[in-house]
Chains A and B, each alone.
Chain A
Amino acid sequence: MKIINYFILIAFCGLLIYVSLDLPNRADLDAVINRETSPAGTPNAAVFYTRHSYEDAHTPNIVTVILADYRGYDTMGETTVIFTAGLICMMLLRKRRKP
């Protein structure tokens, strides 16, 4: 049984390595994600972020600008989720049943 597990693991690892060879290089202008328009013909969001994030927020880290500014609602939801999880754990765990 263990041998089958290892075999599946190695096969999956090989599959992932094989697939990763198809990924575009960094800053490859001909890659689909870096083109001005998507294959469906709509303007691409990544190009907008790369061009405007520094002028908009004076922050060199594009990821930070997207997370906290352009997509601020999303990060707000994440924070609320973490806080809610903490509150629920407090309600469930802090009250111990009497033996």
Chain B
Amino acid sequence: MTGKSDNPILSMISRMISPFIMIYALYVIFHGHYSPGGGFQGGTMLGAAVILSRLASGSELSRLLLGKGIGTLMGAIGVFIYFGTGFLAMLLGGRFLEYKYLARIMPVSDAMARNWGIQFVEVGVGLAVMGIMVALYDDILTGEPDA
């Protein structure tokens, strides 16, 4: 579990494929309206890409990609986006999480406002899942020689 490898092939290949995993994860999140996918699935893949770089090149180098305390912070921001969307709908006159009322500040129809509300919420979920996955990995490594 120390996570540091001296094998150049491993670190090179992981460095090459982790951006593609991230792109595909973003596709899964933002294409969730039209195909299977959504915040949870895409967030898990984003977290997996970060954890792959942590495993292959060691925590010290991988901190350049995502710092130590950032994971929990990103989780908090994701949950805040979800609640914020709900409260924004409430402030605009609707009930909690009634995205229809977002149309009052966006130049779109009611149905498209619900579409956008779903998108905001999915982005929040994806951020939360990714942050918490990376934070769990970092927490488990606390006190180990690599961490």
- A60–B83 CA distance with the chains assembled, in angstroms: 25
**Is residue B101 contacting chain A, with contact meaning CB distance below 8 A?**
no
- A69–B33 CA distance with the chains assembled, in angstroms: 12
Find out whether the CB atom of B79 lies under 8 angstroms from the CB atom of A68: no
Q: Please, which residue of chain B has its CB at the minimum distance from the CB of A85?
A: B132
Find out whether the CB atom of A58 lies under 8 angstroms from the CB atom of B114: yes
A59 in contact with B115 given A76-B86, A79-B79 (CB within 8 Å): yes
Find out whether the CB atom of A89 lies under 8 angstroms from the CB atom of B118: no
Task: Determine how close the nearest CB of chain B comes to the CB of A60; give it in whole angstroms.
Answer: 6
Residues of B within 8 A of A11 (CB): none
**Is residue B52 contacting chain A, with contact meaning CB distance below 8 A?**
no
Task: Determine how close the nearest CB of chain B comes to the CB of A30; give it in whole angstroms.
Answer: 26
**Is residue B140 contacting chain A, with contact meaning CB distance below 8 A?**
yes
Q: Is the interface of A mostly helix, strand, loop or mixed?
A: helix
Partner of B132 from A56, A67, A83 at Cβ < 8 Å: A83
User: What size tier do the contact residues of chain A reach?
Assistant: 20 to 34
**Is residue B3 contacting chain A, with contact meaning CB distance below 8 A?**
no
**Is residue A87 contacting chain B, with contact meaning CB distance below 8 A?**
yes
Residues of A within 8 A of B58 (CB): none
Most buried by B among A59, A68, A93, A96: A68
Residues of B within 8 A of A60 (CB): 33-34
Q: List 9 A-B contacts (CB under 8 A).
A: A55-B111, A59-B115, A60-B34, A61-B32, A65-B118, A68-B121, A80-B79, A85-B132, A90-B72
Which A residues have a C-beta under 8 Å from some C-beta of B?
Answer: 55-61, 63-65, 67-69, 72-73, 75-76, 78-80, 82-83, 85-87, 89-90, 93-94, 96
